[in-house]
Chains A and B, each alone.
Chain A
Amino acid sequence: MSWSCSSNYLCLSSSSSSSLIDSHELTRINNRCKLSCEYKELRRKDHDTTRPINICAYNGLKPPSHELGKWQRKKDYVLKKPNNISAYYSLKPPPYKFDALEPYMSKRTIEVHWGKHHRGYVESLNKFLEQDDLLYGCTMNELISVTYNNGNPLPEFNVAAQVWNHDFFWESMQPGGGNLPILGLLQQIEKDFGSFTNFREEFIESALTLFGSGWVWLVLKRNEKRLAIVQTTNAITPLVWDDIPLLSLDMWEHAYYLDYKNNKAQYANVFMDHLVSWNAALARMARAQAFVNLGEPKIPVA
């Protein structure tokens, strides 16, 4: 049985058979696996990256029997866990080429926004994690909740949340985006906002009335069991209130200044008309319904 991590981040994967790993250890590996596997250069030198990594070796677990030397007894074989291996967050590229969103979001903007801002956040986050034993190893959601500190954010919050926010933002857009949502999402929007036009107007108004830097979100509120438009400042994300975001629009000036200068209205309209990925929102909504009960399922009559 081979296993692979289904999360967004790269993972340590084992190509050798993991038949000796039982489910308990598998869970532990999967948890560890949520961090990406970007080794620092220094450590990479000690490690042969051409061979597939045998995860068992690094967790003190029993390696597959065929890998043991004949002088090693299967039962008592325990590898000393090397303590110079670490894993950090990596910069995930947007799911489209940089020029795919032209002319609505220029290649230059994505090059700078992703390549400089987003990359800067990832590097700062890794620098923090390197020094902080408590935060290292947390999943992204844990990091964001813990560093948000109930409203008094720690310095790590800004960078951690911005890493997540930007990953989410790139995936909230697609080439050939815009148009209307479909299926259940459209129904839910019409239920909660009256009509799609109302929703669109409210979303854009929210974007234009935001003071300073921030984000505008379409979220599914867990407690109220309905969709809502939420404005947040700086790096704050609806995850800190345990709501489920479906879409986001980056209203920091760096997101639109190169293309639209100070014309926020044009940027927000273009986002709604040509960039927003309703497919991504639909997928997120479908997943969210596993956590939020939006009403009785429609049971077909005969």
Chain B
Amino acid sequence: MALRTLVSGKTLGALSRLHQQIRGLQTFTLPDLAYDYGALEPAISGEIMQLHHQKHHQTYITNYNKALEQLDDAISKGDASTAVKLQSAIKFNGGGHVNHSIFWKNLAPTREGGGEPPHRSLGWAIDQHFGSMEKLIAKMNTEGAAVQGSGWVWLALDKELKRLVIETTANQDPLVTKGASLVPLLGIDVWEHAYYLQYKNVRPDYLKNIWKVINWKYAGEVYEKECP
């Protein structure tokens, strides 16, 4: 497009998104946080939140949009090998976007209910499946600390078996890669970028402290929607 050579780099991004939309391709944008970057202190520092949101999550979204555009190209041209080659980029970047979008909703400042344990059905379900909240937290922390390299630890609801499970996924694999009937209630990012600036290599400390800002209200809402 000759038009592209005339515009500056900044508007190029907007133009390509416009281009994608004209073709009917859904583009993704960075969702806003419901709280300030510094609102989760001292559990998670403002610096980490800002980098995590504005840089990491944004990069996943940018690369996801790019990969989708390339996939769309490949599909419309009937280029099967390119389409298949792009799958890992889509799983990684798309998964990153999906996981982080859930993650931001899983966190809330303490004064807005972060850390407050769940009541009603989710609370009972936790007691039933794990014995107590403390046991659940201990188990999730153990699993989270044991993740090799980068990944996530999830508290999930198995829709079909109607039970709560704890799962871990590697890199940015979304939870469904561990089971098609799994619905994420809570996810904790154990990639090093999620805690390194504050906790350095002591991932267990990060896992211990993050429970103070976990938004159980959101988890309860998701649970009640699936298990009324």
Contacts and interface: CB of A to CB of B under 8 A. Distances in A.
Contacts of B196: 253-254, 257-258
B171 A261 contact: no
A225 interface: no
A233 interface: yes
A211 B201 contact: no
B148 A262 contact: no
Chain A, interface size category, equals 10 to 19
Interface in A84-126: 112, 116-117, 120
Interface stretch (B51-59, B98-106, B118-126, B209-217): B51-59
Interface residues of B, number: 20
A261 B53 CA distance: 13
A275 interface: no
A234 B150 CA distance: 8
Given A116-B200, A261-B51, A253 B171 contact: no
A127 B55 CA distance: 38
A233 B200 contact: no
A213 B149 contact: yes
B197 A258 contact: yes
A132 B88 CA distance: 38
A234 B170 CA distance: 10
A105 to B, nearest CB: 15
Contact of B150 (A112, A116, A253): A253
B193 A252 contact: no
Interface in A190-218: 211-214
Given A117-B201, A213-B150, A262-B51, A254 B192 contact: yes
B211 to A, nearest CB: 23
Contact of B148 (A120, A158, A211): A158
A11 interface: no
A277 B196 CA distance: 27
A253 to B, nearest CB: 4
A235 interface: yes
Contacts of B130: none
Given A257-B193, A262-B56, A212 B200 contact: no
A186 B59 CA distance: 35
Contacts, number: 52
Contacts of A234: 148-149
Interface in B8-63: 51, 55-56, 59
Contacts of B150: 212-213, 253
Given A254-B196, A262-B193, A212 B201 contact: no
Nearest to B55: A262
A116 B201 contact: yes
A254 B87 CA distance: 27
Nearest to A117: B201
A112 B200 contact: yes
B172 interface: yes
Contacts of B218: none
Contacts of A117: 201
B92 A211 contact: yes
Nearest to B200: A112
Contact of A212 (B55, B56, B171, B197): B171
A40 to B, nearest CB: 24
Nearest to B96: A211
A233 B92 CA distance: 14
Interface of A: 112, 116-117, 120, 158, 211-214, 233-235, 252-254, 257-258, 261-262
What 6 A-B pairs have minimum CB-CB distances, sorted nearest first? A213-B149, A212-B171, A253-B192, A234-B149, A212-B150, A257-B196
30 contacts: A116-B201, A117-B201, A211-B88, A212-B92, A212-B149, A212-B151, A212-B172, A213-B149, A213-B150, A233-B149, A234-B148, A234-B149, A235-B148, A252-B149, A252-B192, A253-B150, A253-B196, A254-B192, A254-B200, A254-B201, A257-B192, A257-B193, A257-B197, A258-B196, A261-B51, A261-B55, A261-B197, A262-B55, A262-B59, A262-B193
Given A213-B149, A252-B149, 13 more contacts: A212-B149, A212-B170, A213-B150, A213-B192, A235-B148, A235-B149, A253-B150, A253-B191, A254-B200, A257-B192, A257-B193, A258-B196, A262-B193
